[in-house]
A and B are shown apart, each in its own frame.
Chain A
């Protein structure tokens, strides 16, 4: 990949980050030193880790998907592997929307683990279920789900840029023990508020927190990103 990048005349400083690195401070430092484009190399988790912190930094972001767990790359129209260098060299830029949850951004997906919660959409209507409910909010990562445990085919819903989509899956008690998933409800929205009487687990870009109230919004045109021709929006 490095040889391919050199062929295209793309060169720069390589910084390796780990789980404890704050991407925002690293990127801000580099932007101050004159960097105009930041290229993230890795998978969905890497992109989520970097952009969730550094979405507000005024620079262009590129992405070179490497390895497994690369679903966002498909949405952005970037092929996995060396071919991604070609997309990077073409420098086709788009302003992407990001999700905003309780004072921080999320790029890929937000997942509320099954809990007894109620959801208010755009302060207009309220959605409740008789028992627990699982909520998935998609920004750029597609949502894969199965109708039931026996179902072998995965159902896929591709997210669209310009709005957030929430998938609500209520759980009903099984005959003897455990829970069964019901068909999901889909609500496109601009702002939603999830409240629970007890703390519930929220996973945004792979990071888990416990919350009692979550406000999710769409922050439009926050990220300048280099995308491919085959992007899905």
Chain B
């Protein structure tokens, strides 16, 4: 029985390994730039393809596609990306065209401008968040707020 079981297990393992290898190969095909751990990048870091950051980057980061900042990675730069997933630390303003995902370990110190924002519990943000689609309502609210202030002033005077 033992000898019957082992080949099936090894076959399964082989298939799993093959699948994992294929998956990793596919991932490598998609990934174009990887900043590994214990590597420091300084300057205007721009790429046409996807970027994965595991180390540290200082300066500016720009990609028209996906940016992934892994846990333990640090970015001290302004970031512009098509979409992004942050699990590390970002000190700088972020401008993301489509989706920005902040995982539970993410720390962002800077303003965020994004279309869709996903925040997991535990993520830390210190800065303004600006999302497109509410411009008209913001303008209306500002216009509406101005007369209220004036009326507040007039109200204050008789009380004093």
Contact = CB atoms under 8 A, between A and B. Distances in A.
Interface of A: 124-131, 153, 155-158, 168-170, 172, 182-188
A128 B42 contact: yes
B147 interface: no
A54 B71 CA distance: 48
A168 B39 contact: yes
Contacts of A130: 38, 40
Interface of B: 17, 21, 24-25, 28, 31-47, 49, 54-55, 59
Contacts of B37: 182-183
Contacts of A169: 36
Q: Which one of B24, B40, B46 has the greatest number of beta carbons of chain A within 10 Å?
A: B40
Contacts of A129: 38-40
Contacts of A188: 32-33, 47, 49
Given A125-B59, A153-B21, A170-B39, 16 more contacts: A125-B44, A126-B42, A127-B40, A127-B41, A128-B39, A128-B40, A128-B42, A170-B36, A172-B38, A183-B34, A183-B37, A185-B35, A185-B39, A185-B55, A187-B34, A188-B47
Contacts of A128: 39-40, 42
A184 B36 CA distance: 6
Contacts of B24: 155
Secondary structure class of chain B's binding surface, majority of residues: strand
A170 B40 CA distance: 11
Given A126-B43, A128-B42, A155-B24, A168 B36 contact: yes
Contact of B34 (A158, A172, A185): A185
27 contacts: A125-B44, A125-B45, A127-B40, A127-B41, A128-B39, A128-B40, A129-B40, A130-B40, A131-B38, A153-B21, A155-B24, A156-B25, A168-B39, A182-B36, A182-B37, A182-B38, A184-B34, A185-B36, A185-B39, A185-B55, A186-B31, A186-B34, A187-B33, A187-B34, A188-B32, A188-B33, A188-B47
A125 B42 contact: yes
A119 to B, nearest CB: 10
Contacts of A155: 24
